[in-house]
Copies of this chain bind each other. A is one copy, B any other.
């Protein structure tokens, strides 16, 4: 641990051009020594509610955060929820549940056990999503660590390695070695932006050696980081793998995402999950808001009135029609689902809503009678990637080593694949997923039980996976929606810069609470 002396030269200038960071952030330079970014503010305080009624459409995360906070300050929020359950896309399917899509109904017949669940919607809680994590804490939803990026999982690409699945640890660490080796060549050839002392150069070389597991000549010849072709045991030292062919790695799409996956801000460790499924959060909110959420309340019409707005809704069970007046209403349901509601939004609002892209996400899950990924391939949680339609295969991070499991056999989110997935008959979705899974796990078909699929595009009252804003729409249309449209305020993941995450819904709800405070103040 000796500390070699380092010359005072600023090595940052040796590698890159100085000052490439946007001027807007120059003032943040002083923050470079801070260990943590600005603290999470939490929900805003509100003026006393004095029992005032507020109407919220949708008992997803955004709607329930709104109701939860409003009630804390003495308001009387009313949440209208079309479904029979709270949570919206926050949802864990279990044996006995039903999946209703437009045109199909699936009855889940899996075994009943705490670890046998499937999250068709969100399934991850990044450690820095402090809003949703704080609600888990407040509501007493136990969390556990989820493995997201698993060095023991697989990457498969039909265009590389003859289509054979490769170990994540080999792809990642062999690539890392090759990159370090290239970087060392640049150092050796003095490609730094300015001349450096021999000492500095040597330290940079030593750093690259560690970075990439290079040998003393700064070449990469494989490393135990990639695992072992022959693992060590009691009497044998073990033998490393031959490094993977860089040409094959480059021919694959592994480097377009899978290889850096665990470094992405929202994908990095520590990743968390509620014990027993993401739906535990929705249900905890639902329990806390008993009497506040009206279920089976399908909103049919929104109209401006002199006093604000009139909301018409129909009970999905009885068909009874209701009307409520409110000074304003917070609409939290995704815009694609709003198309089924007769509204009098302003044309500019409608245009702004139409400018958001929605991801046609879909997933497939199977109950399995054997956790073959753990037993046969040493895969505990995490994700395997395939260039085939299934895109991702998820292994459960809960119920480890139990007899049975729920395997996510496809997680699809690209436009083309997602739309095609939604259009497929249920049996074809399962068959296609099974085929892709079997390419990575040839033994899988023996152990797969009932499969269940969810194409969010076809799920009533949601009709979409999540929002994605193209930069132009974000710049021009989003601010408009953020202001609201007369008596209509909008909240949800789509109304945030953290789209596709429950945290976006929480932060959006907090933002709208601030707007309500202003209107009430």
Contact = CB atoms under 8 A, between A and B. Distances in A.
16 contacts: A20-B219, A25-B242, A28-B239, A35-B167, A36-B167, A127-B379, A144-B145, A145-B146, A152-B268, A169-B268, A173-B263, A175-B207, A203-B250, A207-B250, A207-B255, A224-B265
Interface in A265-289: 265, 268-270, 272
A351 interface: no
A219 to B, nearest CB: 5
Interface string A394-408: 000110110000000
A57 interface: no
A323 B239 CA distance: 44
A256 to B, nearest CB: 6
B242 A21 contact: yes
A321 interface: no
Contact of A497 (B143, B233, B268): B233
Nearest to A245: B12
B255 A211 contact: yes
Contacts of A208: 179, 182
A376 B264 CA distance: 22
Contacts of A189: 186, 189, 191
Contacts of A10: 245, 247
A182 B241 CA distance: 27
A250 B264 CA distance: 23
A172 B263 contact: yes
A468 interface: no
Nearest to A131: B233
A235 interface: yes
A45 interface: no
Copies in the complex: 2
Given A33-B164, A221-B20, A268-B151, A15 B237 contact: no
A143 B498 CA distance: 32
A517 to B, nearest CB: 14
A341 interface: no
Interface stretch (A154-162, A299-307, A445-453): A154-162
A370 interface: no
A251 interface: yes
Interface centre among A12, A173, A200 (most CB of B within 10 A): A12
A401 B143 contact: yes
Contacts of A127: 150, 152, 378-380
A55 B120 CA distance: 54
A246 B150 contact: no
Contacts of A204: 250
A511 to B, nearest CB: 4
Nearest to A203: B250
A272 B191 contact: no
A247 B6 contact: yes
Contacts of A212: 179
B401 A239 contact: no
A228 B186 contact: no
Nearest to A29: B242
Interface stretch (A310-318, A427-435, A502-510): A502-510
Given A35-B154, A35-B166, A219-B20, A397 B145 contact: yes
A112 interface: no
A244 B33 CA distance: 9
A215 B22 CA distance: 12
A220 interface: yes
A35 B225 contact: no
A239 B265 CA distance: 13
A253 interface: yes
A456 interface: no
B233 A496 contact: yes
Interface in A175-190: 175-176, 178-183, 185-187, 189
B242 A32 contact: yes
A227 interface: yes
B232 A400 contact: no
A272 B151 contact: no
Nearest to A180: B179
Contact of A179 (B179, B200, B496): B179
A9 interface: yes
A16 interface: yes
